[in-house]
Amino acid sequence: MLVRRDLIVVLMSLEVMLNAAGLAFVVAGARWHQADGQVVFLFILAMAAAEVAVGLALVMQIYRRFKSLDVDALSEMRG
């Protein structure tokens, strides 16, 4: 169940989750002394940057259209 209803907080939580995945990769890379973990973290970083750019643009469009950032305001799919 989603507790937080603010779209920006949802995006921030997404960042935390991506960061956690990257942390796991770097820790594994440090454990076995391989560079692969850090390489994958760089890919995650690039993906997070692209994702947050598009996500925040979407947030601004949603705010412009609905005058609200509540997730529940978007629950009706009508044109």
Partner 1 sequence: MELAFYIAGVVAVISTFLMLTRLNVVHALLYLIVSLLAVAVVFYTLGAPFVAALEVIVYAGAIMVLFVFVVMMLNLGKQGVEMEKQWLTPGIWTGPVLLAGILIIEVLYLVRVGTASLPTGAVEPKEVGIALFGPYLIGVELASMLLLAGLVGAYHLGFRKDEKQEIQHGRDTYERRATASGNSVLARTDRLARTP
Question: Residues interacting with partner 1, by CB under 8 A?
Answer: 4, 6, 8-9, 11-13, 15-16, 19, 23, 26-27, 29-30, 33-39, 41-43, 45-54, 56-61, 63-64, 69
Please identify, using beta-carbon distances, which residue of 10 and 78 lies nearer to partner 1. Answer: 10
Q: Which is nearer to partner 1, 1 or 49 (CB)?
A: 49
The rounded distance, in Å, linking the Cα atoms of 56 and 59 is 5
Q: How far is CA 53 from CA 1, 18, 65, 73, 76, in A?
A: 26, 15, 19, 22, 25
Instruction: Output the smallest distance, CB 10 to partner 1, in A.
Output: 11
Pick from 77, 79, 68: nearest CA to 5:
68
